[in-house]
Amino acid sequence: MKTVLTIVVVLAVLLAVAGAYWFLTDGVVVQSDRAEVGEIREFVDEQAKTRLPRTHLVTMPYSGRVSEIALDVGSRVEKDAVVAQIVPKDLDLDLKVAQARVDELQASIEESLDLSLEQTSLEQSLSYVESMGKTVEAASTRVEAGKKRLDFAEYSLARAEKLRRDELISEEKYDDTKLQHIERGFDFQQDNLVHSALKSIQTATDLLPTLVRQYIARKSLQTAVLRQQKAAAEAQLEQAKNNAERGEMRSPVDGVVLERHARDERYLSAGTVLLEIGALEELEVEAEILSQDVVNVREGNEVELYGPAIGPQSATGTVKQIYPAGFTKVSSLGVEQQRVSVIIGIDAQDIERLRNEQQIGVGYRVRAKIFTAKKEKALVIPRGALFRGAANDWQVFAVRGGRAKLEKVQVGLMNDERVEITKGLEAGDEVVLAPETSLTDGARVRKP
């Protein structure tokens, strides 16, 4: 056991000595690359998802019974095509009821406007008034005549009484004169009663034309009321026609059915969503960018879209909108982040290609690379050669004379792959890629 332990210790010492010798003589094996002048583009790379700028909801215009909806999710629809409708029989019935009410009121108005009977009654009442006037006048004349006959009878009776006292006339003649006086008094009273009765009738008769005229005026007011009722009925008819038109729910755009919320025939209340329709030709992308990165993003920035949903060939887009307000989102690691929504428009040709080749739709995950700055002639090195020093400054290991020389540099634009060096290196300088933490300033290095 001791012999084995001794052998292990000896081997470890030999390996350490050999490593030190190799390090001090041949140097550390490193990967390197050279600084060169070329193009560099700074970008923000973030997950995103496809969306539509707006979707169109087909809803119940009013409470009613909707017919069966035959469209399925994904069905293409044309603008103004009927996609759902209220049961047609219900619409027809409402129209017929509203039309019948208008026709009924129109007939009542025409009846109210027909004054032929009332005019005839007015003419008859005027004639009756005139006739009653003449009748009363005749009765008055009869009263006057009766009064004269009564006066004559009284004169004859007084004369007969005188002659009877003088026995110049017979008893029989006297009685006849007395009877005639009584008859004339009775006739006079009867004529007065008839005259009074006729005057009372005349008073009532004189009111007949006024009553007829008032009835005609009242009928005119009734006509005005009927006209108002007809106007209300016509408004209801117009509403019924409007409901019949709205009862055929049409697609507002050329697009596809994204969601179908109802299918079978049933009664639904006003505002119930039936279908959700969108135009996939308007497809765009929404990315949620960290607030510290979005400050460099501007509307109009070029965007490269890639990922499995995009396919082997990337798509081109442009920043359309940057939301003015951010929001808090918890990352998968449980860290709260402030992010801002950025809307990216996709080139029309790429949308058509993606729809045909990838069958891309709404809510698909993609990657969005937003280019925020660009420089065509910049001194660039691989991003992996750059690291932070103890003072938090940027540093690289430059290979000079076979040794790793620690250099402080100033950087400009950078991305995930390359970084612009504005000070500290020159074109052609060789830099160590992904240097080990054990690499020190001045250490010998060599390529593999």
Q: Where are the domains of the chain?
A: 26-52+283-446, 60-86+249-278, 97-245
| Per-residue tokens: 250 | 């049409």
Rounded to two decimals, what is the model's pTM? 0.61
Residue 131: how many CB atoms within 10 A of its CB?
Answer: 12
Q: What is residue 21's predicted lDDT score, i.e. its pLDDT?
A: 45
Q: Of 136-150, 285-299, 383-397, 410-424, which gets the smallest average pLDDT?
A: 136-150
Write the single-letter amino acid at 345: G
Q: Which CATH number fits domain 97-245: 1.10.287.620, 1.20.120.450, 3.40.50.300, 1.10.3260.10?
A: 1.10.287.620
Q: Is the pLDDT assigned to residue 206 strictly greater than 80? A: no
Q: Is the pLDDT assigned to residue 423 strictly greater than 80? A: yes
Q: How far apart are CA 421 and CA 410, in angstroms?
A: 6
Q: What is the mean pLDDT of the chain?
A: 85
Q: What is residue 11's predicted lDDT score, i.e. its pLDDT?
A: 53
For residue 157, what is the enclosing H or E element? Answer: helix 116-165
* Beta pairing partners, 33: 431
In this structure, what DSSP letter does residue 69 have? P
> What is the distance of C-alpha 285 from the center of its chain?
25
In this structure, what DSSP letter does residue 68 have? P
Q: How far apart are CA 209 and CA 215, in angstroms?
A: 10
Given this chain, do its domains 60-86+249-278 and 97-245 carry the same CATH topology? no
pLDDT digits (tens, 9 = 90+) for 109-129: 877 777 677 778 777 777 777
Q: How far apart are CA 270 and CA 240, in angstroms?
A: 15
Q: Name which CATH class applies to 26-52+283-446.
A: mainly beta
> What is the distance of C-alpha 175 from the center of its chain?
111
Contacts from 261-268 at CB under 8 Å and sequence distance 24+? 262/66, 262/69, 262/84, 263/68, 263/69, 264/68, 265/65, 265/66, 265/67, 265/68, 265/87, 266/65, 266/66, 267/63, 267/64, 267/65, 267/66, 268/60, 268/63, 268/64, 268/65, 268/66
Q: Of 11-20, 210-219, 251-260, 295-304, which gets the smallest average pLDDT?
A: 11-20
Fold type of domain 60-86+249-278: OB fold (Dihydrolipoamide Acetyltransferase, E2P) (2.40.50)
Q: Is the pLDDT assigned to residue 8 strictly greater than 50? A: no
Q: How far apart are CA 130 and CA 209, in angstroms?
A: 11
pLDDT digits (tens, 9 = 90+) for 73-108: 988 999 999 999 888 888 788 888 888 888 888 888
